[in-house]
Amino acid sequence: MIIGVFKEQENENRVALLPDHVTQLKKWGVEVCIEKGAGISSFADDDQYQTAGAELTDASSILSKANLLLSVSIPRQDILQGIRGTHYLIGTFNPVFNREAIEIMQKSGATAFSLDFVPRTTRAQAMDVLSSMATIAGYKAVLEAASRLPRFFPMFMSAAGTIKPAKVLILGAGVAGLQAIAIARKLGAVVEVFDVRSAVKEEVKSLGGKFIEVEGAREDAAAGGYAVEQSEEFIRKQRQLIHDHASNADVVICTAQVFGKKAPLLLTKATVEAMRPGSVVIDLAASTGGNCELTQNGQSIWHKQVLIIGKSNYPSEMPFDASKMYGNNLLNFLKLIVNKDGQLQIPFDDDIIQATCMVKENKIVNERYLQLIK
């Protein structure tokens, strides 16, 4: 089997495999072709890949010889147009928000697996790319907020007077939110947290955050650890309470998401206008609509005197460790589908394979995806 890795889309610094991953794959008896320059933005150069045993070549040659194509997100248009029925693709395709690309994969006859659909089971934990990337996002979001805030995060008592600690409000206590709580607390901020899943209350407390409860949240054990959409009435009540807390906060980190849906709108324009001058909002849900009404995806804007940063791709700003974690998750997934002779052998009846397989034999085969786009 030959694995192919391309350079990602223009704004993406990560790469699907680093040289160390290539070394491991070679031990399995798998050949690896890397597009020249694919790892440069992740600080992995062509020589390192070559030393690890990869062939460095161009995109068209990879398309013609590799059968398994690995990517971080949706492959570039020129790659998508070149895929054929003999190809297997694995990446994080965010299918609900990239339906056209999924359609191209379907029409090509290729078989595609999207790792953002990995189930949240103990067995699949080592392949959970969303958790890996959310860890990075939560960490970087707090660091960026701290560096852009015109105040200290920790309390200071000095001869020049006492500085109160910053107040950080975190919306959503999933993987990114919990990481954000931990980092903000380490930097000395006072942290308040909203979530709709009561299960996270204890985790928030144990990290030193204050959990603000809004009664009447809808929860569903069948959602596989994810939140479900809330009623309009609940969201209205929640927005009011968020308004009260945000107007006293210096930083709001927005991480609230509902899998496969538009992100809930929690921070209104009126709330932003009630915030203190110099405050910072970081919206990690920007690519799915944002938790803040004023968020513009991929942009930093000032509204009155509040800075709103709409950024869902922090992992791309920490490309080395992000690629390392991503590649490790990928290798764990590959263990399921590569046999001891280094050949593809896909157990299509396996629950992780079933949950992640999007298209196969010109058909969309993923029930969960079909439900989400209904």
Per CB under 6 A, residues contacting ligand NAD are 120-121, 125, 128, 130-131, 134, 171-177, 194-197, 200, 225-227, 230, 255-259, 264, 266
Helix (H) or strand (E) holding 176: helix 175-186
Q: Is 239 a catalytic residue?
A: no
Set 128, 195, 250, 283: catalytic member: 128
Compute the least distance from the CB of residue 324 to ligand NAD, in Å. Answer: 18
Angle at the Cα of 242 from the Cα atoms of 241 and 243, rounded to 5 degrees: 90
Which is catalytic among the residues 226, 247, 276, 350?
Answer: 226
Sequence-ordered alpha helix ranges (H) in 14-125 = 19-27, 46-51, 59-65, 77-80, 99-108
Catalytic, 226? Answer yes
Quote the least distance from Cβ 125 to ligand NAD, whole Å: 4
Which among 9, 24, 131, 296 is annotated as catalytic?
131
Q: What is the smallest separation between the CB atom of 285 and ligand NAD, expressed in angstroms?
A: 8
| Cα 204 from chain centre | 21
Token readout for 306 is 């509040």
Closest C-alpha among 316, 340, 331, 369 to residue 42: 316
Nearest residue (CB) to ligand NAD, 88 versus 333 = 333
Q: Which residues contact 26 (CB under 8 A, 6 or more apart)?
A: 32, 52, 53
Is 139 among the catalytic positions? no
Q: For residues 271 and 81, is the Cβ–Cβ distance under 8 A? A: no
Query: C-beta of 209: minimal distance to ligand NAD in Å?
Result: 13
Smallest CA-to-CA distance from 95 within 230, 257, 288, 256 is with 288
Tell me how far, at minimum, the Cβ of 265 lies from ligand NAD, in Å: 9
Residues paired with residue 161 on neighbouring β-strands, in sequence order: 158
Q: Which of 48, 50, 120, 354 is catalytic?
A: 120
Catalytic residue among 125, 231, 240, 305: 125
Please tell me the distance from the alpha carbon of residue 48 to that of residue 39, in angstroms, as a whole number: 10
Contacts of 49 (CB under 8 A, 6+ apart): 19, 22, 32, 34, 38, 39, 56
Closest residue by Cα to residue 6 from 81, 108, 86: 81
Least distance from ligand NAD to the Cβ atom of residue 319, Å:
21
Report whether 210 contacts 193 (CB < 8 A): yes
Q: Is 128 an active-site residue?
A: yes
Tell me whether residue 79 or residue 193 sits nearer to ligand NAD (CB atom).
Answer: 193
Residues 6+ apart with CB under 8 A from 35: 4, 5, 6, 7, 56, 57, 58, 59, 62
Catalytic residues: 120, 125, 128, 131, 226
